[in-house]
Structure formats: C-alpha cells, structure tokens
Amino acid sequence: MKGQITLIGAGPGEPELLSVKAVRKLQQADAVFYDRLINQDLLNYCSEKCELIDVGKKPKHHKVPQSEIENLIIAKAKEGKRVVRLKSGDPYVFGRGGEEGKRIIENDLIFEVIPGITSAIGGLAYAGIPITHRDFASSFHVITGHLKSENNQLDWEVLAKTEGTLVFLMGMSELETITTELMAHNKSKETPVAIVRWATRKEQKTVTGTLETICEVAEKAQMTSPSLIVMGDVVTQRDYLNFYETRPLFGKRVVIPHTEKKNMYHHLIDAGASVLELSKLTKKENETRLSLEGINKLVFLDSDSVTYFISKLMENGQDIRQLEHVDFVTIGHHTELAVKKLGILPKERFDLLSDYKELNTQIETTLYIGEQSYIRQLIKENKAIKIWSPFSFENKPFEESQLEEADYFFLPSSKAAYYFLNNLSDTQKELLKMKKIIVMGAITAKVFEAESISVIQSEQPTFNSVLTKLIEEEM
C-alpha cells in the first residue's frame, strides 16, 4: 500500500490560524516532520501514536540537510504511512515546498499541499499593518532577504522604484544591506518601515522607524530573527489597527489541561494569551476482575468510572436491574449526572471523597470505583477499603522549560489538579510555588494546599470569572 504525503503550511505561529483541513490531516498522521519555527503547540493535534520528527533548520546551521529531509519523508511514505511535512508559513512562500513536492511526485507517491497563512500577510495583520490599503498601497511584493552570494543579489534599482508595500522575509541579518542599497538607489529615506518579530506569538514585538533610522531602532530594541521587515505607507496605519498587542493578556503564557471542547482555550486566545495545553492523559484499561459479592454500596469517583462499570456489567451478562438493593454514591457534579443518565438517582452526592460521611465505616460492603492512585491520595488514612480500578492514567512529563516560561496555570477541577501535580518532580513543585495558579473553587484549592502551594480563586466557578481574575492580576 502506498503512503501519502501532505505538505502543510503551519502559518506564522498562532495555533488557531491553522486551516480546518490541516488540523484533520495532523490528527490522521502516522508521522510528522516539523520545522524549527513552527509553534510546537500545533503538535497537540497529533495522535498519541504519531511519530514526531524534528528536522528544524537554523540560519547557517542545517540540523538535517534538505536532501535528507526529502529522503526521510519519502521513506516513511513508502512504508505505507500517512506523512505530514509541517512547515512554517506557507510551503510555497520561500519554504522549498516546490522542491519537496517534485521529489515526492518523482517517487510515484500520493501528494497534496495545504496552504498556510504566510507571515508576510498574517504577521503584518497581527502587528496592525495591512499589506494593502486603498489610500496607501494597491500592490505588494514579498522578497527574500536571504541573499545567497555577492553574485546573486537583488535588483536594487528596480526594488527602489517599486510602488506599493515591500515585505522582506528572512532579512534581519541583511537589514543594513537592504536599507543602504535602497537609499543608494534613491528610495526615500523617509519611507516608513516596521520590523515584526515572532509575529502572532506571545513574544511578538514590533518597532517602527524610517528607511534611514530603522537599523538604529532595531539595534536598540535588540530585534533578531525570526523577524519580517515591511516598508511603505501602510506602516502608518499601525496606530489605528494594532488589535493584537493591545489585548489584556497579550504576551502572557497560560497553562491549562487538555480538553476536547476547548472552551477556556478559546476564551484565553481571544484575550490575547498564548495557551499551552497539558498533554492529554492516556487512559489505560486495567484487566481487573469486577466482583460485587457482598457489596451493597457503590461509590463512584468520576463519570468515566460509571461508563466503565456499566460496560463491565454487560460483559459479565448483567445489567443494572440486578443492583436494585445497591446504593449509589457519587463524588462530584459530573459523576452524579452520569449516574442519572442511567435512570438511577444516587442516594448521596459529595463534592470531595474526604467529605463522605461513611468513609471509615461499612468497609466490607462498600466498593469504591475509580482510578486507584487518585482514590488512595484522597483517603490516605484508610488503606483497607475495597477498590475496583477499571483504568489508570499516564501522561507525558511536564518539561521544566515549559514551567519556567508559563505566567499562569489554570486547573478547573480537583482531578485536573491532582494529575498535574502528580506528574511534577519535587524541584518542579518548588518552582511552581513562584507561579500564579487560578482555580475555580475551594475543593481544587485543597489539592494545592496539601502541597503547600498557594492559589488564586475565581469569584464564580465559570470561565468568564476565571478570565476576569486573570485580567485583574495584570492590572
């Protein structure tokens, strides 16, 4: 079976600027080869089984040569794999996508391209600079600033006379040459110029000047690659159109748990924050025998436990009608809802397992259902209880560099807080104490208090209330 290769443009950096089709292809991919400049948050779209290969190239230092990259992706595809080549910006805008595409076709493989938003357009938009404007520029020109050699220079005379907006990509190392040559060929020294670094990301930084002053401005502001350079009267519109850098959480990194619905993720992105989702918990089913002999009370820890319990009953040729004399107790609101969907009204519901009144009684006739390590953590004082643990969780280690770059952590539930903390080393927990942690309620706060970590609690258990608290912290 032939594999297939998809060249995907990752855009300038903001994860939500990725196209719908690109997200689908990443989710389906068996292997992803990605560049240095892509936002690695995009890799969260990949499945747990997907092989992630870093082939990033730095200026003047190619981590993996271009020819070898092409060989690697072709070899994977010939194994029958669905391969994605994830490239920053757009594959065909100075991205060597054309070269890769030709090699793929020559090897008789299935091939497609999914365009990305080039930084020449999207990056400028996020800096408040429209690449065209009815009053200032009716055309634009995107130029590589990566000058190969003295014998292969740009036609400066033509560029100096070119009307409209000029955008130089990969040109920071040649900024002085670019500005000097354009002025030497009679382009006005007063031409407005802007430089945008790490466009659409939390590190985005924009400086403005003129063709004559921009080198001095850039040096003073310590502007480095990756940056784009834009020249033309459209730069003057930044004063009016700078929507991104003025958002209340611009430049802030917020760590949150992975969710499918992404409600809080969207709230934060819209407020200008950069969001890092924790790795998705990998659920591993445990082949533990379910025995209800002598049991007259079931205590469910979470909604997943309810689902697994019912499926195990069905496997055993039983159903809930045979539990008419068994009391159901639920821990947490969502667990209660899961039980009610079965047509059963729980006898009792508690917000936290430690609140359960009969925790240390009726041990022989009560079965606790949920992830075992979590239950043990919550009820350390009683190790004699009966537990049926239908699954366990595994997650990727949280890197110290990710913790260091974070400004805020938002943990919406005691369960999310427990698994997050359980994945940290003692050193990381000490570092976490210096960060700001937002929680929705007192129950989640207790999990952090057990580790002597202080938190900030929102006024209400809602996403809007959490967002308001975050913005208040920035004022």
Domain boundary among 394, 420, 453: 394
Choosing from 170, 172, 223, 231, the catalytic residue is 170
Choosing from 35, 90, 302, 407, the catalytic residue is 35
User: Do 134 and 235 sit in the same domain of this protein?
Assistant: yes
Please tell me the predicted confidence (pLDDT) of residue 378: 62
Domain CATH for 379:
3.40.50.10090
Q: Is 35 a catalytic residue?
A: yes
Could you report the per-residue pLDDT of 326-336, keeping only the tens digit for each?
889 888 788 89
User: Do 25 and 160 sit in the same domain of this protein?
Assistant: no
Instruction: Say which residue, 99 or 396, is predicted with more confidence.
Output: 99
CB distance 399 to 247 below 8 Å: no
Q: Is 170 a catalytic residue?
A: yes
User: Do 128 and 236 sit in the same domain of this protein?
Assistant: yes
Q: Is 172 a catalytic residue?
A: no
Range of the domain at 211: 122-241
Instruction: Pick the most confident of 11-20, 352-361, 373-382.
Output: 11-20
- pLDDT confidence band for 414 (50 / 70 / 90): confident
Q: Using CB atoms within 10 A of its CB, is residue 439 exposed (0-12), middle (13-18) or buried (19+)?
A: buried
Please tell me the predicted confidence (pLDDT) of residue 150: 60
Choosing from 57, 262, 297, 429, the catalytic residue is 57
User: Do 229 and 138 sit in the same domain of this protein?
Assistant: yes
Could you report the per-residue pLDDT of 95-140, keeping only the tens digit for each?
889 999 999 999 999 899 999 999 999 999 999 999 999 999 999 9
Count of domains forming the chain: 4
Residue 143 lies in a domain: yes
